Every structure is written in C-alpha cells, then in structure tokens.
A and B are shown apart, each in its own frame.
Chain A
Amino acid sequence: MTDAITMVRRNFTHTLRNPGAMIMTIGMPLVLLLVFVGVFGGALNVGIGPAQHSGSYIDYVVPGILLMTVGYGGTTTAMAVNRDMTAGIISRFRTMAISRTSVLTGHVVGSVIRTLVGTGLVIGVAVLLGFRPAGDPVQWLATIGLIALLALALTWLAVGVGLLAKTAEGTAPFTLVVQLLPFLSSAFVPPDSMSGAVRWFAAHEPFTPIIDSLRGLLLGTPIGDSGVAAVAWCVGLALAGYLWARALFRRDPS
C-alpha cells in the first residue's frame, strides 16, 4: 500500500513535469466541443428536434465530449505506461522487494485524478459556451462517480494496451477505438437518426448507455435503465482491464 502511494506521487510529479499529457487530455475534447457547437450546432439542433431535448445542442453534446475527455486521458496513460515499460527504471522496480503492481496502480490512480480534473475543466469551458447543467447535488455526485468509474475502466484497459505495445506507436489502436466509438454512439446525434447496422451498433455499444446516463444526470432528466447498463459496463471493463494488465505485467520483460 505504501508502495502504491509512492508510485502515485511519482505519477503526479510526472504530470507536473510533462504537462503535455494534461493538455492532450483536454485539448482535443475542447476542440471537438467548439467544432460541434460552433460549426455543426445549428444544423444538428434541427436534426435532434425540440421534442427530445428542450435545451440547445450544447446541452446534448457535452456528455459525449466528457466521455471523449476520459478516452483521451486513457490514451495518454497508455503512452505513459508504454514509455515507462520500455525505460530502464521498470527493471529496477522489478528487482526490488516492492508490491508487484504498485507501478501500475500509480499510473491508474494518477490517470483517474488527471481525468477528473480534465473533465472538470471541460465542463467549465462548456458552461462559458452556454452549457446549462440542471442536476441536483445527488445527480452531480452520481455524475462524478460515473466519470470516475469510466475513467477507472478505460485506464486499466489503457494500461493493458501500454503493456502490450512494443512501442508508443503501438498504442494507436486504443486511441482509434476511443476516438471512433463516441461517433458511433449517442454522443453527437441520437442513434434513432442513424441507419441500419450503425444504429444497431450505436444502441448496443457501451458508450451509449454511459453517455445517456451522464446526459440525464447533468440535465436532471430521467435516465431509465441506462444507469444500470452504464455501471455494469464500467465495472466489467475495469475488472477485465485490471486482470488483463496484471497478467501482462507478470510476464518476463523482454
């Protein structure tokens, strides 16, 4: 436990020394936010229709942007883990009598906190752009909880990807998936407006219930059974990611 805390502290110092990771986490989502609200906002407003969402398009799109922020957080973590694994220091850790996975725990905790700060900043900018959240305190807490849970899930998966990849470039597939899946979900337009196979996929992929839950919690509207589905997906992915990453870390280093 003390080893894990030491490793978390190491991760914080890394973030301070290398602010690029933080900038990347929030930079792209902010750009997307500006593009979707500023450029497509008007057109999409019409597409979504007033029946479903009384607010403006920005209220609809922010939850998806938050999810992408978490995704980008995972991307930077995958690269940081990979950089760590391919540097010499990890060999030193492995020959010391410390808790085996404390290095990974350090990355995960650091990443989740970084991601929470990042989503906080993104929400702040969104509010400046006209986002009007309407959740009560309990819903806000649930929002933070869900984002943290999602961050945990994506981070453990990212750690696994970072461990598996031979080079930093090898983490690209993860980046691609977390960038692409939101577009094939309810992040930017409702799945109902999509066609055929895409609609089916969007309705069943994990990001859709997570985004729907976040949207409901932020806007103070009912979330139905998407809440249960969101939590189940997150817990399942976190567990799978954790077990996978642990197994990868236990292999002999090359």
Chain B
Amino acid sequence: MTSTSSVPAIAVRGLRKSFKGTVVLDGIGLDVDEGTIFALLGPNGAGKTTVVRILSTLIGADGGEVRVAGHDLAGEPDSIRAAIGVTGQFSAVDNLLTGEENLVLMAHLHHLDRAAGRRRVAELLDQFDLVEAARKPAATYSGGMRRRLDLAMTLIGDPRVIFLDEPTTGLDPRSRRMMWQTIRRLVAGGVTIFLTTQYLDEADELADRIAVLDHGKLVAVGTAEELKRGIPGGHVRLQFGDGAGLDAAARALGEVSRDDEALTLQVPSDGNVAALRALLDRLELAGVEVDGLSLHTPDLDDVFFALTGHPTETTEAHQ
C-alpha cells in the first residue's frame, strides 16, 4: 500500500441524481485509493450504472463533489476524460468496423503516432485473443469477443483510472476467469479500477474495498471480510417428505424459519461440520426422517437482507 497521504484516485462526496423526479442517487460518498480495485455491489436498478456514467463524465450530477484522477468533475471534465477509460455495461464498439479498425480508430483518437499506434493495436489484439477475428466486422463477434474488444479499446490510451460496469455479467465461467485475470494484471501495473457487479463472489475475489449500493444509498463500505463478518445469511436447508415430518422437525429444532409449501426448514449455519452433525443427531433422536439437505453460504441476497432488512427485488439476474 502506498502512503495514505496520496490523493485518492476517486473521491466522491454527497453525490445526488434524479431522473424526472425519481431519486436514483441519494447522497453517495466514497474514496478509491490509487492502484486498488473498488467494487460497487448492488442488484439491478440500484444505481450502479448511473454512478459510473456520472463519474466518467457521460452525464451530469444534480449535486455533490467528485474528483477523479485529481481533477474536479464539474470544472475539468476534459482532464478527467484524458485520464480515464470506460467499458460500459453495454458494448461500445463500432459494429460496422472490424475489430482491428475499432482499435485503430481509438489509436487515432488518442493521437498515437502511426508506428506506436500500430504496435499498440497488434499488442492488444494478441493480448485479448482477437488476432484471428481482427479483420472481421465487430457485428459478427460473440458476446465474449465483443467484451474483450471493448476492454481492449478502453486500454489503448493507457488510462490511469478504469471504470468497468458489470464486466462479467453474461459471460461464461471461462471468460469470467479471463476477465478477472486481466483486471488483476491491470492493477498490478498501477491502474485504479472502479467496477460494478451484482455478484458478491466477484467483489470478494477482486476488490480491495466493496461498497454496497441499495436504492441509491451506500448501505455498507469495507473489505470483503468486514462485510461478511456481519452477515448471518448462511444456512442449512432441510427437505421433508410430508407435513408431519416438518412439524416434528420444527418442534425438535425450535427457532427456525419454515416453508410449509415447500416442506422445508432453514437452520442458520456457518458451514461448521461439527454443528451440522449435531443438528442431524438431534433430528435422528426425535425420529424425524430428512429427505434432503443443502448448504447455503451467504450470497448477495443475504448481504442485502442483513444490511437493508429487505431482500433484493430482482433475483433472476443472479443465481
């Protein structure tokens, strides 16, 4: 870690934004140290994209102070633009151009000279495994290729601060791993990364610090450890064959949450094996037959439930 006196790469105070009277960001404050990964975690509609769009100068804020790479957002947006790279949630490639032409376009717009531009383009095509597809129109690319091209275009100008809005949503597990590797490599090179995600495990895996966004407010900020410490969402789910079994088990176990329709019980658990064995022993003692058992570790729903007291509204997006 560098000294704490250095200017943070991103500093936000009291950020507010409404769309037609609907408050989307309700006073957000955060700091991101240089050379670290910061993850903004939240379900669909939490306001993650709105934060990224404001910090990357795409849209204006209604209030608050923002400094990115040492520059004031309101006063020097162009200085910020020169320092950042943005890969949005939706692909930002030119579909009529080939992958290579897209990169060359970026090289031109960054005013790289001919030789340097060509070198950088070749480097990135190679690094992102796009050499074979380089001469094909981007419109024909698969989702994963498009995402890689998108990120490669972002990197042409060697940005110091990079915004990645849900960089792995919709990617297959292998592409997801590759994206994670790329992000780690960038940070190792001194770049600051601000990413958004709906996945706790992704934030956990990558981020130095995580902020949880819910309905336009940050409900928690800290390291993954700090966040998970307070989260009791892990549980064992017990499946029973009939209502009698469910009743008997509920009596034997006392304070547990039950679902009469699904014939299941949820018993809090941190995954400890001895405690699990004790639980099953108690059920056996009570003569209850358990049909099935599954173990759940805390996930985003649990984080949300613990932090906000209400479940995430959109659960189909992650599972």
Contact = CB atoms under 8 A, between A and B. Distances in A.
Contacts of A97: 78-79, 81-82
A223 to B, nearest CB: 41
B92 interface: yes
Interface string A3-16: 10010011001100
Given A17-B137, A252-B60, A87 B95 contact: yes
B107 to A, nearest CB: 10
Interface of A: 2-3, 6, 9-10, 13-14, 17-18, 87-89, 91-98, 252-253
A88 B90 contact: yes
Interface stretch (B51-59, B124-132, B234-242, B299-307): B51-59
23 contacts: A6-B105, A13-B101, A14-B96, A14-B97, A17-B96, A17-B97, A17-B137, A87-B94, A88-B91, A89-B92, A92-B153, A92-B154, A95-B56, A95-B57, A95-B58, A96-B109, A96-B157, A97-B78, A97-B79, A97-B81, A98-B109, A252-B58, A252-B59
Given A6-B105, A6-B108, A10-B105, A94 B57 contact: yes
Given A6-B105, A6-B108, A89 B93 contact: yes
Interface of B: 56-60, 78-79, 81-82, 84, 86, 88, 90-97, 101, 105, 108-111, 137, 153-154, 157
Contacts of A10: 94, 97, 105
Given A2-B111, A253-B58, A92 B101 contact: no
Contacts, number: 61
Residue from A93, A95, A98 whose CB has the most chain B CB atoms within 10 Å = A95
Given A98-B109, A253-B59, A92 B92 contact: yes
The 3 A-B residue pairs with the shortest CB-CB distance in the complex, in nearest-first order: A88-B92, A97-B82, A92-B92
A247 to B, nearest CB: 15
A9 B96 CA distance: 13
Given A18-B96, A96-B157, 16 more contacts: A2-B108, A3-B109, A6-B108, A10-B105, A14-B97, A17-B96, A17-B137, A87-B95, A88-B88, A91-B92, A92-B88, A93-B109, A94-B57, A96-B81, A97-B78, A253-B59
A253 B49 CA distance: 13
Nearest to B59: A252
Nearest to B90: A88
Contacts of A93: 109
Contacts of B96: 13-14, 17-18
